Chains A and B, each alone.
Chain A
């Protein structure tokens, strides 16, 4: 059963840390989560992201695809959390309402496009 893992843990952790500011801003400013909620989300996102790097296609998946997947997961998390908090009630904040009406993956693509070259 001895198996050599294509370990990308350090690389993935580093990529996550580089994006952490963007993730926090997305959760707090776009999805209006509290700082505490955003910190909890980041813990889960990191665990998930480290495993993403070890999936069947993970060892070869380019950084851009990994980053896009992370942004998608972040948007999905923010959206689900807000919808759960609203519990079916109408959202009073117009900007949040617009954000929630968007597909998280589409939102992630826009966020990715806005990132600077230093995150490439």
Chain B
């Protein structure tokens, strides 16, 4: 008795072959994949690792596709229970696919679904060897979800501890990423000077670490903050720093947010018509990647500006487009009263502007 592990009859997929296998899987319709699993080598850990990496990289350019692919992969690995990889690899893949799916759902404002995926991720990671780094990445996503739910007190309380955890683990990029949450919370509470300091520090550190994604996102946020202050020179300079990096990374979410920041700048400097066009450009970018919540939020901002321009009919139309999405995605649980006032006014073919402003106030500073 040697006790050697019996090898899988097919030779294992090597790391160098994994990208081609992953491509073939993604090109195969989901309905056909399970039946062709052996031929497509879906159970191979090298291929699953490649799929996780490839799709993680596309979170900011194709969140809908990433969510759907991750859902398929998660269920493929989970049921029936497949003997995937060595040691803890099956549990790792369950955790990683769920984490990526949950992150995609967060980008798409599908918060309940996001929470479910994060619970699944935790269930997977718990059974891996030395899970602390993966569980910390999960904690970051859970905290990021809270910013969208405007639980800023919770965020400000827990973010420093998460930053410290990443530092202790020797994960400087993740520590820096967690500091974004601090910056966003400061933006949300209108502490703009402090927010600028945080994002400027993140940008410096990201440059030092060679973390391009964080660098681009930091400048995207700086564009927005300087836009909110009506500081044209700084906003434009920040956008110039952000755009080339984000284009290279195809980070379409952050690019749309830069556009949003420039729209804010135009609004703050009294260029209302140009601001509407810039908001619409940002809206089109969000629409292309399936970010319906952001499209709806911008519809409200645009409606407000259209009223200012005397285009009440177009404003009404813009609000009418937004409300079903806002209700469906339960985007403003804290703004229900304003939402109802707005709905009532629409029945009379007019817009209750204070209610509209209260509602879009929940979105306009949130990036």
Seen from chain A, the residues whose Cβ lies within 8 Å of a Cβ on chain B are: 1, 3, 5, 9, 33-34, 36-37, 40, 44, 47-48, 50-51, 54-57, 60-62, 64-65, 68-69, 72-73, 76-77, 81, 84-85, 105
Nearest CB of A to B280, in Å: 32
> How many A-B Cβ pairs are below 8 Å?
91
- Residues on B with beta carbons closer than 8 Å to the beta carbon of A77: 87
Contact of A73 with B53 in the complex, beta carbons under 8 Å: no
Contact of B87 with A56 in the complex, beta carbons under 8 Å: no
| Residues of chain B in range 171-215 having any CB-CB distance to chain A below 8 Å | 171-174
| Interface of A: prevailing SS | helix
| Residues of chain B in range 134-153 having any CB-CB distance to chain A below 8 Å | 134, 136-137
Contact of A69 with B86 in the complex, beta carbons under 8 Å: no
Contact of B22 with A51 in the complex, beta carbons under 8 Å: no
Judge whether B45 is part of the interface by a CB distance below 8 angstroms.
Answer: yes
- 16 more CB-based (< 8 A) A-B contacts, given A55-B96, A57-B136: A1-B19, A1-B22, A3-B19, A3-B54, A36-B4, A50-B15, A51-B85, A55-B49, A55-B92, A57-B171, A60-B170, A61-B170, A65-B132, A77-B87, A85-B3, A105-B129
Q: How far is the CA of A105 from the CA of B132 in the complex (A)?
A: 13
Most buried by A among B2, B46, B57, B133: B133
- Residues on A with beta carbons closer than 8 Å to the beta carbon of B132: 65
Judge whether B130 is part of the interface by a CB distance below 8 angstroms.
Answer: yes
Judge whether B337 is part of the interface by a CB distance below 8 angstroms.
Answer: no
- Residues on B with beta carbons closer than 8 Å to the beta carbon of A64: 170
Judge whether B52 is part of the interface by a CB distance below 8 angstroms.
Answer: yes
Smallest CB-CB separation from B137: which chain A residue?
A57
Contact of A84 with B171 in the complex, beta carbons under 8 Å: no
Q: How far is the CA of A56 from the CA of B136 in the complex (A)?
A: 12
**8 cross-chain CB contacts under 8 A:** A1-B26, A3-B54, A40-B3, A51-B49, A54-B49, A56-B99, A65-B132, A81-B3
Q: How far is the CA of A105 from the CA of B130 in the complex (A)?
A: 8
- Residues on B with beta carbons closer than 8 Å to the beta carbon of A81: 3
| Interface of B: prevailing SS | helix
- Residues on B with beta carbons closer than 8 Å to the beta carbon of A37: 2-4
Smallest CB-CB separation from A84: which chain B residue?
B3
Q: Which of A60, A65, A68, A72 is within 8 Å of B172, CB to CB?
A: A60
Q: Which of B2, B23, B52, B129 is within 8 Å of A69, CB to CB?
A: B129
Q: Please, what's the 1-or-0 string for B153-178, where 1 marks a CB less than 8 Å from any CB in chain A?
A: 00000000000000001111110000
Nearest CB of B to A67, in Å: 10
Q: Please, what's the 1-or-0 string for B1-44, where 1 marks a CB less than 8 Å from any CB in chain A?
A: 11111000000100100010011001000000000000000000
Given the interface contacts A77-B87, A85-B3, does A60 sit within 8 Å of B174 by beta carbon? yes
Judge whether B294 is part of the interface by a CB distance below 8 angstroms.
Answer: no
- Residues on B with beta carbons closer than 8 Å to the beta carbon of A61: 133, 169-171
| Residues of chain B in range 49-65 having any CB-CB distance to chain A below 8 Å | 49, 52-54, 56-57
Given the interface contacts A51-B49, A65-B169, does A44 sit within 8 Å of B86 by beta carbon? yes
Contact of A40 with B171 in the complex, beta carbons under 8 Å: no
Contact of A40 with B133 in the complex, beta carbons under 8 Å: no
Most buried by A among B4, B12, B52, B54: B4
Q: How far is the CA of A33 from the CA of B4 in the complex (A)?
A: 11
Judge whether B89 is part of the interface by a CB distance below 8 angstroms.
Answer: yes
- Residues on A with beta carbons closer than 8 Å to the beta carbon of B133: 57, 60-61, 65
Q: How far is the CA of A50 from the CA of B56 in the complex (A)?
A: 20
- Residues on A with beta carbons closer than 8 Å to the beta carbon of B5: 40, 44
| Residues of chain B in range 91-135 having any CB-CB distance to chain A below 8 Å | 92, 96, 99, 129-130, 132-134
